[in-house]
Structure 1
Amino acid sequence: MPKIIDDVVAESEIKDVHLRYCRANDRRDEELMRSCFHPGAVIELHKELGVDEFCELGRQILGQYTVTWHNTGNQLVEVKGDAAWAEHYTISSHRIAADDKGPERDWIAHGRYIDRFEKRGGEWKIARRKMVVDYTRLDNVTPGDPAVPGGSGGGSRDRNDPSYAMRLG
Protein backbone atom coordinates (compact mmCIF):
# COMPACT_ATOMS: atom_id res chain seq x y z
CA MET A 1 0.00 0.00 0.00
CA PRO A 2 1.49 3.37 -0.97
CA LYS A 3 2.29 5.84 1.79
CA ILE A 4 0.23 8.98 1.86
CA ILE A 5 1.95 12.33 2.39
CA ASP A 6 0.74 12.50 6.02
CA ASP A 7 2.52 9.22 6.76
CA VAL A 8 5.72 10.46 5.13
CA VAL A 9 5.62 13.65 7.21
CA ALA A 10 4.88 11.62 10.36
CA GLU A 11 7.81 9.30 9.62
CA SER A 12 10.13 12.29 9.26
CA GLU A 13 8.88 13.85 12.50
CA ILE A 14 9.32 10.55 14.37
CA LYS A 15 12.87 10.11 13.10
CA ASP A 16 13.61 13.67 14.19
CA VAL A 17 12.44 12.89 17.74
CA HIS A 18 14.85 9.97 17.88
CA LEU A 19 17.76 12.10 16.63
CA ARG A 20 16.93 14.76 19.24
CA TYR A 21 16.96 11.99 21.87
CA CYS A 22 20.48 10.97 20.80
CA ARG A 23 21.62 14.60 20.88
CA ALA A 24 20.10 15.05 24.34
CA ASN A 25 22.17 12.11 25.60
CA ASP A 26 25.42 13.33 24.09
CA ARG A 27 24.99 16.95 25.20
CA ARG A 28 23.43 15.93 28.55
CA ASP A 29 20.51 18.24 27.74
CA GLU A 30 17.69 17.17 30.04
CA GLU A 31 15.23 19.72 28.67
CA LEU A 32 15.72 18.33 25.17
CA MET A 33 15.49 14.77 26.53
CA ARG A 34 12.15 15.44 28.21
CA SER A 35 10.80 17.01 25.01
CA CYS A 36 11.05 13.60 23.29
CA PHE A 37 8.55 11.90 25.61
CA HIS A 38 4.86 12.32 26.31
CA PRO A 39 3.90 12.79 29.97
CA GLY A 40 3.41 9.34 31.47
CA ALA A 41 5.74 7.68 28.96
CA VAL A 42 7.34 4.39 29.99
CA ILE A 43 10.97 3.54 29.28
CA GLU A 44 11.92 -0.14 29.59
CA LEU A 45 15.49 -0.88 30.59
CA HIS A 46 16.14 -3.49 33.26
CA LYS A 47 12.80 -2.31 34.70
CA GLU A 48 10.09 0.14 33.70
CA LEU A 49 10.85 3.79 34.40
CA GLY A 50 8.91 7.02 34.07
CA VAL A 51 10.49 10.05 32.41
CA ASP A 52 11.62 11.58 35.73
CA GLU A 53 13.26 8.34 36.87
CA PHE A 54 14.86 7.88 33.46
CA CYS A 55 16.34 11.40 33.49
CA GLU A 56 17.71 10.84 37.00
CA LEU A 57 19.30 7.57 35.91
CA GLY A 58 20.72 9.35 32.87
CA ARG A 59 22.35 12.00 35.08
CA GLN A 60 24.03 9.23 37.08
CA ILE A 61 25.10 7.02 34.17
CA LEU A 62 26.14 9.70 31.68
CA GLY A 63 28.10 11.50 34.39
CA GLN A 64 30.49 8.52 34.46
CA TYR A 65 31.75 9.20 30.94
CA THR A 66 33.96 11.98 29.58
CA VAL A 67 32.31 11.73 26.14
CA THR A 68 29.29 9.97 24.68
CA TRP A 69 28.46 9.76 21.00
CA HIS A 70 25.37 8.19 19.42
CA ASN A 71 25.20 7.26 15.75
CA THR A 72 21.84 6.22 14.32
CA GLY A 73 21.66 3.76 11.45
CA ASN A 74 18.56 1.94 10.24
CA GLN A 75 15.26 3.52 11.17
CA LEU A 76 12.02 1.74 10.39
CA VAL A 77 8.75 3.53 11.09
CA GLU A 78 5.20 2.24 10.60
CA VAL A 79 2.41 4.80 11.02
CA LYS A 80 -1.23 3.97 11.68
CA GLY A 81 -3.24 7.12 12.27
CA ASP A 82 -2.04 8.86 15.43
CA ALA A 83 0.09 5.91 16.57
CA ALA A 84 3.33 4.52 15.21
CA TRP A 85 5.85 1.76 15.82
CA ALA A 86 9.53 2.48 15.24
CA GLU A 87 12.82 0.65 15.51
CA HIS A 88 16.05 2.68 15.48
CA TYR A 89 19.45 0.98 15.32
CA THR A 90 22.14 2.89 17.23
CA ILE A 91 25.82 2.51 17.98
CA SER A 92 26.80 4.52 21.03
CA SER A 93 30.33 5.13 22.24
CA HIS A 94 31.15 6.03 25.82
CA ARG A 95 34.62 7.26 26.81
CA ILE A 96 35.67 6.07 30.27
CA ALA A 97 38.47 7.96 32.05
CA ALA A 98 41.54 6.05 33.22
CA ASP A 99 40.97 4.70 36.70
CA ASP A 100 41.96 1.83 38.98
CA LYS A 101 40.27 -0.57 36.53
CA GLY A 102 42.49 0.38 33.64
CA PRO A 103 43.58 2.99 31.10
CA GLU A 104 41.20 5.30 29.28
CA ARG A 105 38.81 3.14 27.27
CA ASP A 106 35.72 3.21 25.08
CA TRP A 107 32.63 1.16 25.84
CA ILE A 108 30.69 0.73 22.60
CA ALA A 109 27.11 -0.49 22.60
CA HIS A 110 25.25 -1.74 19.55
CA GLY A 111 21.55 -1.61 20.22
CA ARG A 112 18.07 -0.69 19.21
CA TYR A 113 15.35 1.57 20.50
CA ILE A 114 11.92 0.02 19.94
CA ASP A 115 9.22 2.64 20.29
CA ARG A 116 5.53 3.29 20.36
CA PHE A 117 4.97 6.86 19.27
CA GLU A 118 1.72 8.74 19.64
CA LYS A 119 0.62 12.01 18.10
CA ARG A 120 -1.03 14.13 20.80
CA GLY A 121 -1.83 17.79 20.44
CA GLY A 122 -0.27 17.72 16.98
CA GLU A 123 3.11 16.41 18.23
CA TRP A 124 4.72 13.02 17.78
CA LYS A 125 6.50 11.88 20.94
CA ILE A 126 7.53 8.61 22.52
CA ALA A 127 4.80 6.96 24.61
CA ARG A 128 6.77 3.77 25.29
CA ARG A 129 10.40 2.89 24.59
CA LYS A 130 12.25 -0.40 25.01
CA MET A 131 16.02 -0.18 24.87
CA VAL A 132 17.72 -3.34 23.62
CA VAL A 133 21.49 -3.84 23.74
CA ASP A 134 22.41 -6.49 21.17
CA TYR A 135 26.13 -6.53 21.96
CA THR A 136 28.92 -4.42 23.39
CA ARG A 137 32.68 -4.17 23.32
CA LEU A 138 35.34 -2.43 25.39
CA ASP A 139 38.41 -0.93 23.68
CA ASN A 140 41.47 0.66 25.26
CA VAL A 141 42.18 4.16 23.93
CA THR A 142 45.47 4.70 22.17
CA PRO A 143 47.61 7.22 24.10
CA GLY A 144 47.50 10.62 22.43
CA ASP A 145 44.11 10.00 20.79
CA PRO A 146 42.92 13.48 19.68
CA ALA A 147 39.37 12.70 20.82
CA VAL A 148 40.45 13.19 24.42
CA PRO A 149 38.45 16.17 25.74
CA GLY A 150 40.49 19.35 25.48
CA GLY A 151 42.95 17.70 23.11
CA SER A 152 41.35 18.75 19.84
CA GLY A 153 39.28 21.80 20.67
CA GLY A 154 36.23 19.58 20.25
CA GLY A 155 32.80 19.69 21.76
CA SER A 156 31.44 19.73 25.24
CA ARG A 157 28.73 17.71 26.93
CA ASP A 158 26.44 20.64 27.69
CA ARG A 159 25.01 23.79 26.13
CA ASN A 160 28.54 25.17 25.74
CA ASP A 161 28.96 22.81 22.78
CA PRO A 162 29.59 24.76 19.53
CA SER A 163 26.45 23.25 17.99
CA TYR A 164 24.24 25.36 20.27
CA ALA A 165 25.88 28.62 19.15
CA MET A 166 25.38 27.73 15.47
CA ARG A 167 21.66 26.94 15.76
CA LEU A 168 19.16 29.15 13.96
CA GLY A 169 16.60 31.12 15.94
Structure 2
Amino acid sequence: MARTLEELDAIVADLQDRSAIRDVLMRYSRGVDRLDRDLLLSVYHPDAIDDHGVFIGTAEAFADWAIGMHTTTHVSHQHAIFNISIDLDGDVAHTESYYMFVGLNREGKPLTMGGGRYMDRFEKRDGRWAIAARVCLRDWAQLDAVPEHLDQSAMTAVKGLAPQVIEAMRTGPQPARDRSDPSYDRPLVVDPRRSTSG
Protein backbone atom coordinates (compact mmCIF):
# COMPACT_ATOMS: atom_id res chain seq x y z
CA MET A 1 0.00 0.00 0.00
CA ALA A 2 1.51 3.27 -1.12
CA ARG A 3 1.69 6.09 1.38
CA THR A 4 1.10 9.75 0.67
CA LEU A 5 3.86 12.31 1.18
CA GLU A 6 1.93 13.65 4.18
CA GLU A 7 1.82 10.18 5.75
CA LEU A 8 5.53 9.67 5.14
CA ASP A 9 6.31 13.09 6.63
CA ALA A 10 4.30 12.19 9.74
CA ILE A 11 6.12 8.84 10.09
CA VAL A 12 9.53 10.50 9.74
CA ALA A 13 8.61 13.23 12.26
CA ASP A 14 7.43 10.58 14.74
CA LEU A 15 10.66 8.61 14.33
CA GLN A 16 12.77 11.76 14.71
CA ASP A 17 10.98 12.70 17.94
CA ARG A 18 11.38 9.20 19.39
CA SER A 19 15.06 9.12 18.44
CA ALA A 20 15.69 12.54 20.02
CA ILE A 21 14.00 11.43 23.26
CA ARG A 22 16.07 8.22 23.39
CA ASP A 23 19.22 10.30 22.84
CA VAL A 24 18.29 12.45 25.86
CA LEU A 25 17.83 9.35 28.03
CA MET A 26 21.22 7.94 26.97
CA ARG A 27 22.85 11.34 27.53
CA TYR A 28 21.49 11.34 31.08
CA SER A 29 23.28 8.08 31.91
CA ARG A 30 26.51 9.29 30.35
CA GLY A 31 26.32 12.66 32.10
CA VAL A 32 25.74 11.24 35.57
CA ASP A 33 28.31 8.44 35.15
CA ARG A 34 31.00 10.79 33.86
CA LEU A 35 30.14 13.40 36.52
CA ASP A 36 29.68 15.86 33.66
CA ARG A 37 27.46 18.63 35.03
CA ASP A 38 26.93 20.39 31.69
CA LEU A 39 26.00 17.17 29.92
CA LEU A 40 23.66 16.20 32.77
CA LEU A 41 21.94 19.59 32.72
CA SER A 42 21.48 19.35 28.93
CA VAL A 43 18.82 16.65 29.41
CA TYR A 44 16.54 18.95 31.44
CA HIS A 45 14.64 22.12 30.68
CA PRO A 46 15.81 24.91 33.04
CA ASP A 47 12.52 24.82 35.03
CA ALA A 48 12.44 21.00 35.36
CA ILE A 49 11.79 19.28 38.69
CA ASP A 50 13.38 15.91 39.50
CA ASP A 51 11.93 13.68 42.23
CA HIS A 52 14.55 11.02 42.96
CA GLY A 53 12.92 10.07 46.28
CA VAL A 54 15.99 10.92 48.37
CA PHE A 55 16.25 14.22 46.49
CA ILE A 56 13.50 16.46 45.09
CA GLY A 57 14.36 19.75 43.41
CA THR A 58 15.45 21.68 40.37
CA ALA A 59 17.66 20.25 37.62
CA GLU A 60 20.65 22.34 38.74
CA ALA A 61 20.26 21.32 42.37
CA PHE A 62 19.84 17.68 41.29
CA ALA A 63 23.03 17.80 39.19
CA ASP A 64 24.98 19.18 42.16
CA TRP A 65 23.47 16.61 44.53
CA ALA A 66 24.00 13.62 42.21
CA ILE A 67 27.59 14.52 41.34
CA GLY A 68 28.43 15.22 44.99
CA MET A 69 26.79 12.03 46.23
CA HIS A 70 28.42 9.79 43.60
CA THR A 71 31.84 11.43 44.06
CA THR A 72 31.71 10.91 47.82
CA THR A 73 30.14 7.44 47.80
CA HIS A 74 31.46 5.62 44.72
CA VAL A 75 34.79 4.96 43.03
CA SER A 76 32.82 4.33 39.81
CA HIS A 77 29.24 3.60 38.81
CA GLN A 78 26.97 2.81 35.87
CA HIS A 79 23.38 3.72 35.04
CA ALA A 80 22.05 1.45 32.28
CA ILE A 81 18.74 2.16 30.50
CA PHE A 82 16.73 -0.79 29.17
CA ASN A 83 13.04 -0.85 28.13
CA ILE A 84 11.77 2.54 26.99
CA SER A 85 8.08 3.33 26.40
CA ILE A 86 7.30 6.64 24.71
CA ASP A 87 3.77 8.08 24.50
CA LEU A 88 3.91 11.02 22.08
CA ASP A 89 1.26 13.72 22.02
CA GLY A 90 2.43 16.63 19.87
CA ASP A 91 5.17 18.52 21.70
CA VAL A 92 4.69 16.51 24.92
CA ALA A 93 5.79 12.94 25.58
CA HIS A 94 5.49 10.71 28.60
CA THR A 95 8.16 8.05 28.94
CA GLU A 96 8.88 5.12 31.20
CA SER A 97 12.50 3.91 31.16
CA TYR A 98 13.71 0.87 33.08
CA TYR A 99 17.14 1.35 34.64
CA MET A 100 19.71 -0.61 36.61
CA PHE A 101 22.38 1.04 38.75
CA VAL A 102 25.62 -0.48 40.03
CA GLY A 103 28.14 1.46 42.11
CA LEU A 104 31.62 0.43 43.32
CA ASN A 105 31.55 1.75 46.89
CA ARG A 106 34.37 3.63 48.58
CA GLU A 107 33.48 2.08 51.97
CA GLY A 108 31.50 -0.86 53.32
CA LYS A 109 30.12 -3.42 50.89
CA PRO A 110 31.96 -3.54 47.56
CA LEU A 111 28.87 -2.97 45.41
CA THR A 112 25.54 -1.20 45.61
CA MET A 113 22.93 -2.38 43.12
CA GLY A 114 19.39 -1.38 42.37
CA GLY A 115 16.83 -1.13 39.63
CA GLY A 116 13.75 0.86 38.88
CA ARG A 117 12.14 3.19 36.40
CA TYR A 118 12.37 6.81 35.35
CA MET A 119 8.99 8.37 34.62
CA ASP A 120 9.51 11.49 32.56
CA ARG A 121 7.38 14.21 31.04
CA PHE A 122 9.31 15.47 28.04
CA GLU A 123 8.48 18.71 26.29
CA LYS A 124 9.68 19.91 22.91
CA ARG A 125 10.50 23.61 23.21
CA ASP A 126 12.00 25.53 20.30
CA GLY A 127 12.64 22.20 18.56
CA ARG A 128 14.51 20.68 21.54
CA TRP A 129 13.24 17.68 23.51
CA ALA A 130 14.18 17.71 27.21
CA ILE A 131 12.82 16.55 30.55
CA ALA A 132 10.28 18.87 32.21
CA ALA A 133 9.45 16.54 35.13
CA ARG A 134 11.01 13.30 36.36
CA VAL A 135 9.98 10.77 39.01
CA CYS A 136 12.46 8.01 39.85
CA LEU A 137 10.92 4.83 41.24
CA ARG A 138 13.06 2.14 42.85
CA ASP A 139 11.59 -1.28 42.16
CA TRP A 140 14.37 -3.36 43.75
CA ALA A 141 17.67 -3.09 45.60
CA GLN A 142 20.38 -5.45 46.75
CA LEU A 143 19.62 -6.74 50.25
CA ASP A 144 21.59 -8.83 52.74
CA ALA A 145 18.39 -10.61 53.76
CA VAL A 146 14.75 -10.58 52.76
CA PRO A 147 12.88 -8.35 55.22
CA GLU A 148 9.80 -9.73 56.96
CA HIS A 149 7.62 -6.97 55.54
CA LEU A 150 8.41 -5.19 52.29
CA ASP A 151 6.43 -2.05 53.04
CA GLN A 152 7.01 1.67 53.48
CA SER A 153 7.72 1.31 57.20
CA ALA A 154 10.98 -0.44 56.27
CA MET A 155 12.27 2.92 55.01
CA THR A 156 12.46 4.20 58.58
CA ALA A 157 15.25 1.70 59.14
CA VAL A 158 17.44 3.41 56.54
CA LYS A 159 20.48 4.71 58.40
CA GLY A 160 22.31 7.91 57.64
CA LEU A 161 19.38 9.75 56.04
CA ALA A 162 17.91 12.91 57.49
CA PRO A 163 14.34 12.50 58.82
CA GLN A 164 12.94 14.87 56.15
CA VAL A 165 14.53 12.73 53.40
CA ILE A 166 13.05 9.56 54.86
CA GLU A 167 9.66 11.31 55.04
CA ALA A 168 9.97 12.45 51.41
CA MET A 169 10.69 8.85 50.34
CA ARG A 170 7.82 7.50 52.43
CA THR A 171 5.24 10.01 51.21
CA GLY A 172 6.46 10.36 47.62
CA PRO A 173 5.49 8.38 44.55
CA GLN A 174 5.56 4.63 45.13
CA PRO A 175 5.74 1.79 42.59
CA ALA A 176 2.62 -0.31 42.15
CA ARG A 177 1.75 -3.37 40.10
CA ASP A 178 -1.48 -1.87 38.80
CA ARG A 179 -2.77 1.34 37.23
CA SER A 180 -2.07 3.33 40.41
CA ASP A 181 1.63 3.22 39.42
CA PRO A 182 2.98 6.72 38.64
CA SER A 183 3.81 5.59 35.09
CA TYR A 184 0.11 6.13 34.30
CA ASP A 185 0.03 9.74 35.56
CA ARG A 186 -0.88 12.19 32.77
CA PRO A 187 0.45 14.77 32.87
CA LEU A 188 3.36 13.72 35.06
CA VAL A 189 3.83 16.46 37.66
CA VAL A 190 6.26 16.78 40.56
CA ASP A 191 4.97 18.83 43.48
CA PRO A 192 7.66 21.49 44.11
CA ARG A 193 6.49 21.74 47.73
CA ARG A 194 8.16 18.35 48.30
CA SER A 195 11.58 19.80 47.43
CA THR A 196 14.51 18.64 49.53
CA SER A 197 16.91 21.04 47.81
CA GLY A 198 15.98 24.02 49.95
TM-score normalized by the length of structure 2: 0.64
Task: State the distance in 2 between where 1:133 and 1:14 align.
Answer: 22
- Residue number in structure 2 paired with 1:146: none
Task: State the distance in 1 between where 2:92 and 2:142 align.
Answer: 35
Higher helix share: 2
Task: State the distance in 1 between where 2:64 and 2:118 align.
Answer: 19
Task: State the distance in 2 between where 1:121 and 1:78 align.
Answer: 20
Q: Superposed, which structure 2 residues align to 1:10-89 within 5 Å?
A: 10-46=17-53, 48-63=56-71, 64-89=73-98
- Structure 1 unaligned blocks of 5 or more: 140-169
Q: How many pairs were matched up?
A: 134
2:76 is paired with a residue whose SS is strand
- Write the letter of the residue equivalent to 1:72: I
- Write the letter of the residue equivalent to 2:103: H
Higher strand share: 1
Task: State the distance in 1 between where 2:56 and 2:38 align.
Answer: 21
CA contact (8 A) 2:56 2:62 kept: no
Instruction: Give deviations 1:101-158, integer Å, cap 9, x for gaps.
Output: x3x511111011100000001100000010111111168xxxxxxxxxxxxxxxxxxx
Task: State the distance in 1 between where 2:56 and 2:33 align.
Answer: 22
- Residue number in structure 2 paired with 1:110: 115
Task: State the distance in 1 between where 2:142 and 2:86 align.
Answer: 28
Task: State the distance in 2 between where 1:138 and 1:5 align.
Answer: 45
CA RMSD of aligned residues (A): 1.8
Larger Rg: 2
Instruction: Give deviations 1:37-91, integer Å, cap 9, x for gaps.
Output: 0010010123530012101211221111001112111001111110000011011
CA drift of 1:6 comes to 1.2
TM-score normalized by the length of structure 1: 0.74
CA contact (8 A) 1:106 1:138 kept: no
- Structure 2 unaligned blocks of 5 or more: 1-9, 145-198
Alignment partner of 1:129 is 2:134: yes
1:4 is paired with a residue whose SS is helix
Task: State the distance in 2 between where 1:13 and 1:50 align.
Answer: 22
CA contact (8 A) 2:37 2:64 kept: no
Task: State the distance in 1 between where 2:20 and 2:90 align.
Answer: 14
- Write the letter of the residue equivalent to 1:88: S
- Write the letter of the residue equivalent to 2:111: D
